[in-house]
Amino acid sequence: MATIVERIIAAHSPTRSVRPGDIVELGIDVRVARDFGGANVVKNLEDYGLGVDDTKKTFFTFDCNPTGSDQKYATNQQVCRIFARNHDIKVYDVDSGIGTHLAVDLGLVGPGDTIVSTDSHANILGAIGTFGQGMGDQDIAHAWAFGKVWFEVPATVKVELTGMPRPGTSPKDVGLALLRHFGANGLLGLAAEVYGEYADKLGLAGRMTISSLGTEMGAIIIFFPPNQAVLDYCKAKTSREFAPLRADPDATYERTEQVDIAGLEPLISRPGHPEDVVTVASIAGRKIDSAFIGSCTNGRMEDLKAAAGVLKGRKVAPGVVLKIVPATDAIWQEALRSGVIETFKQAGALVGNAGCAGCAAGQIGQNGPAEITVSTGNRNFAGKQGKGDVYLASPETVAASAVAGAIVNPGAIPVRPALFKPKPMSRLSHERRAPHAAPLVVEGRVWLIPKDNIDTDMIFHNRHIAITDIREMGQYCFGNLPGWEHFSKNAQPGDIVVTGKNFGAGSSRQQAVDCLKSLKIGLVIARSFGAIYFRNAVNAGLPVMTADLMESGMKDGDRIRANLATGEIELMVTGVKVHGHPFPPVQLKIYRNGGLLG
């Protein structure tokens, strides 16, 4: 009476017989933590003094940020590496690819096995007949420590695909058809087993595409009974024999649903809701800014070949950016050997390191405000892949749209691409304005920072350099300067910073000036400034003066008065006067104008 999913769960639980709704202790064959969540798994194990049950079944996969370009990700990765060294755990590092794909291609799991990961799409393993689950940090820590987790047995829906789609329709289109049929919650908390002529003939890559969309339907897992090709593939990767997985003849399903895919044409999901699926033809011609091919849904070799078939001999439309990220490094290498990468580069695409890419916000694939992207990913929630709008489609539709410059069916690429129409700028006013009411005499409380060579990373760390709104910058001022991390919380408008030599050494980042303006700092006095920093400060209208106050007897918190025109600085507590460099005429003019562009 058991479905395939129930049989696998039963085989991994002490009871050996389960029914929907039962709570079981589920034995886990393979336990994975990624760079996303991995550091928290380590923290949980260390905080509770737990060990690792079986290091041969335990792995780290770094796929969310394979470039290590984000410092928080880099920190998490290093935490995991150190833990792995200490406990003899295998790390599939930043050069490897998406963990769920590695589990298949490296033979970590096979049909009938169980796997958990800090990846909400670990249920993609249903493509090979493995019961995979994404779980949170504490669940994964428990699986690492004890080799099992508690689990509620899901009811199973039998999904029968009827008919065959029209030629040129991809597995992604079938997956989108299922999303359209079930919606965002039609399989909520349920397993689904997929049957029918189309499913039986479907290859591994197509099965992975459809299974990866299960999470977007609320499913515990979308499960394909392995066909002989999948069994043979898994045998070759694991050196293990696998018998066909079948449900009992009298298996009890929650319900049976038929999904008609006869004559199915290319589909696309509109921004914000993966389940908001329409035909590509119905919105053809919508202008796009960028395109993305990759993710766990469509980063297999078959996906790349399909896209290359569209791009061969063609160019990405002017002004459109096409980003491509293979799922694993092995796929990347195969694409290189086969000439697929060359096709991508000839077409004008950017090819990135293997990994999750924009879906995880750790790699190429993100978009900006008002940017229109067509993507092969599985999620297009608002803000998920950036601040623009994301359409979900097949690799063929994405590649065709990148060439056309607008959403288009793969078989209907126009001769000439859609081009961006320039919008004329409004005419600038050159009328003279009254000088800015900036004071020439500045008085304020001193922040004494007796250090030389304070660089721009200490003033405004590069982890924040993507911030462009000056109102957000002040909170990070001196956040990387040991001993002055509290500056932004305690600084008051009009305060004066006094420091040593070469203030603002390092990069040209404007934020190292603007964070002080954001806090309304009245003046910065240093013995000397980094050359670029000084120019940036002058041009931004931030008052900066060169003077040596280190030997004046001034203390932190004292008040001083500075005349920007004469250079005279008075220590108001002692009456001592120090002469600094007055503002030269050009600096004074820019300051009074409120900045170079004021």
Residue 267 to residue 168: CA distance in whole angstroms: 11
Tokens of 525: 């006095």
Q: What is the pLDDT of residues 224-273, one digit of tens each?
A: 999 999 999 999 999 999 999 999 999 999 999 999 999 999 999 999 99
pLDDT score for 362: 59
Supply the pLDDT for residue 436.
54
Closest by CA position to 328, among listed 292, 293, 295: 295
pTM of the prediction? 0.85
pLDDT of residue 32: 97
Q: How far apart are CA 559 and CA 445, in angstroms?
A: 4
The runs of H, that is alpha helices, within 90-248 are: 99-105, 137-146, 171-182, 197-201, 204-212, 228-238
Chain-centroid distance, C-alpha 135: 18
Q: In this structure, which amino acid lies at residue 366?
A: Q
Q: CATH number for 4-260: choose from 3.40.50.2300, 3.20.20.10, 3.90.180.10, 3.30.499.10.
A: 3.30.499.10
Q: Is pLDDT above 80 for 426?
A: no
* 3-state secondary structure labels for all residues of 455-501: EHHHHCCHHHCCCCCHHHHHHHCCCCCCCCCCHHHHCCCCCEEEECC
Question: Which residues, other chains included, contact 213 with Cβ-Cβ below 8 Å and sequence gap of 6+?
Answer: 175, 176, 178, 179, 222, 274, 297, 378
Q: Residue 390: which residues within 8 A CB-CB, separation 6 or more?
A: 271, 367, 373, 374, 375, 377, 380, 384
What type of residue is 445? R
Structure tokens at 596: 């170079």
The secondary structure of the chain in percent helix, strand, coil, rounded to multiples of 5, reads 35, 20, 45
| Parallel/antiparallel/unpaired status of strands 559-563 and 568-571 | antiparallel
**Rounded Cα gap, residues 92 and 94, in angstroms:** 7
Give the pLDDT confidence score for residue 220 in this predicted structure: 95
State the DSSP string of 62-81: --S-TT--SHHHHHHHHHHH
Contacts of 28 (CB under 8 A, 6+ apart): 12, 57, 114, 115, 116, 143, 147, 148, 149
* Structure tokens given for 489: 């919380």
The highest-level CATH class for domain 441-592 is alpha beta
| 449: number of Cβ within 10 Å | 20
Find out whether 362 and 377 touch, Cβ atoms under 8 Å: no
* Whole-number pLDDT of residue 421: 87
At 218 the pLDDT is: 93
Q: What is the mean pLDDT of residues 285-301?
A: 95
Say if residue 370's pLDDT is above 70: yes
- In sequence order, the 6+-apart residues with CB closer than 8 A to the CB of 36 are 64, 73, 76, 118, 119, 360, 362
Residue 393 has pLDDT above 70, yes or no: yes
Q: CATH assignment of 267-412?
A: 3.30.499.10
Instruction: Report residue 433's pLDDT band, with 50, 70 and 90 as the boundaries.
Output: low
pLDDT tens per residue across span 512-549: 999 999 999 999 999 999 999 999 999 999 999 999 99
For 195, the enclosing helix (H) or strand (E) is strand 191-195
Could you check whether 4-260 and 267-412 share the same CATH topology? yes
Please report, for the chain, the start and end positions of each structural domain, with discontinuous segments joined by +: 4-260, 267-412, 441-592
pLDDT cut 90: percent of the chain above it: 85
Helices 340-347 and 329-338 cross at an angle (nearest 10°) of 80
Strand partners of residue 569:
562, 578
Share the mean pLDDT of the chain: 93
Dihedral sign of CA atoms 244, 249, 252, 257 in order: positive
**Residues 325, 327, 328, 332, CA torsion sign:** negative
d(CA 111, CA 125): 9
